[in-house]
Structure 1
Amino acid sequence: MDAGNRDRVRDIGRAPAPEDRVPGRSYSTLRPAQPVIPQPKRPKPGADLITRAAAVFGRTTTGVTWPYGLATPSRRNYRDRPDAYEEAVQRAQEAQEAVTAWAERYGLRSSQSGCCPRWLERTTSRRCRDEGCTHFDAPRPDAEWLDHTVAWLHAGRPAGLTSAPYDVSPESRERLSWWTRSVPELRVAQGTGWYGFGTTQILMWRSDILGDEVDSTDLRKDLAARQ
């Protein structure tokens, strides 16, 4: 493939270097790449929740690699409370269905490498390694709102972070606002989310990958609407 066709296929939004250009070919028609908005995805007919969730979160030897707070509770923790156990299982299954359907809709898969908004600035999924992680490395300016965090990939690229803090302080709100001002592609939305227990669902995503509007951060209401 010659340089001109290669750059059109990659849609990098600029002409190749002069030494790579094909004589007589015009490169004036190249345009900046437009975000590819993911289309809603429907689960395959007959696909059960475990199979669908495994495609989103991955598998272990015993089942799905659910994020913290999504795993089906153990009966051993409810030995003397069978009714409470059944209720806990029902809540877990509703949350599992809601977050799996949400991820399917946007073509997302979870990532074990996602750590902080700096991860969203990368084109490949890799954890911060230069002691500059804003979640885990001092002074940890994003640690407060990055509670119960799930990192999301779209077509292998860092695309979003969801978290569920018990409280969103004024400092956290300012920090979220700072990110959207500093990185034009980032967007932030809030809802009640899947985790529950009085937490606030925070979603931060890349608009150039997922578009300007990502709905249903309130995943439990979304589940009820589809039933």
Structure 2
Amino acid sequence: MLRGEPLTAIIPVRGGSKGVPGKNIRPVAGGDSLLDRAIKFARASSRIDRTLVTTDDPEMHAIATRQGVAAPSLRPAHLADDAATTAAVVEHVLAENAISVGHLLILQATSPFRRLTDLEAMCAAVEASDAEASVSLVAHDEPRPEKLKRIEGGRIVAYMGEGFEGPRQSLPQPYRLNGAFYLISVEAFMRERRFLPEGTLPFVMPEERSHNIDSRTDWAVMEAMIAAGAWELERYE
């Protein structure tokens, strides 16, 4: 529950990953798959009232069905290609399941290092504010946006404004979305059709819990950091 209303977790996964084939059902460090970890996270949270896995993949739908968290049907083809947005997928889930009140929590399976205490802290911060939404972030150190370049007419030009060549310590701290949590009221989402409406509350997480799996390199880094004991996976019953 959040603010006395139901909190629905939506786990969007699809087949045919190009970066890491079959990544969502691939075991992490010899244990649970990314999808299983996301489902177990949702079921272990005292905040989450209902969990729905939306997918176009029959195997992942079967996994979610066995655990009692599958959406009623496979995702339509037009919501499973590279052009489909998460917002459009969530709209479909809300309509298919007649969800019109409460709050939504988007849990990407590709964020395996988030913790239950992170979610609790995020929910508590939202309840202490008047924000309609909150999104998880991580500090971004390099490259700073002000130092980025582009090539125009065969020459190097600043990507932003006049560019910057001084020390990064003199620049304001930038943040990037880490993909762990997108939390928003159903009312705000249906009004805005996006996850970061004006006034969204930031929830900053540390680097070791912000790794997102998109490429083979991301997967290799994850496995190496776990093996080295630098990053730790939370365990669930």
TM-score if structure 2 supplies the norm length?
A: 0.25
Indicate the structure with greater strand content: 2
Rg: which structure is higher? 1
TM superposition score normalised by structure 1: 0.25
Greater relative CO, 1 or 2 (CA 8 Å, sep 6+): 2
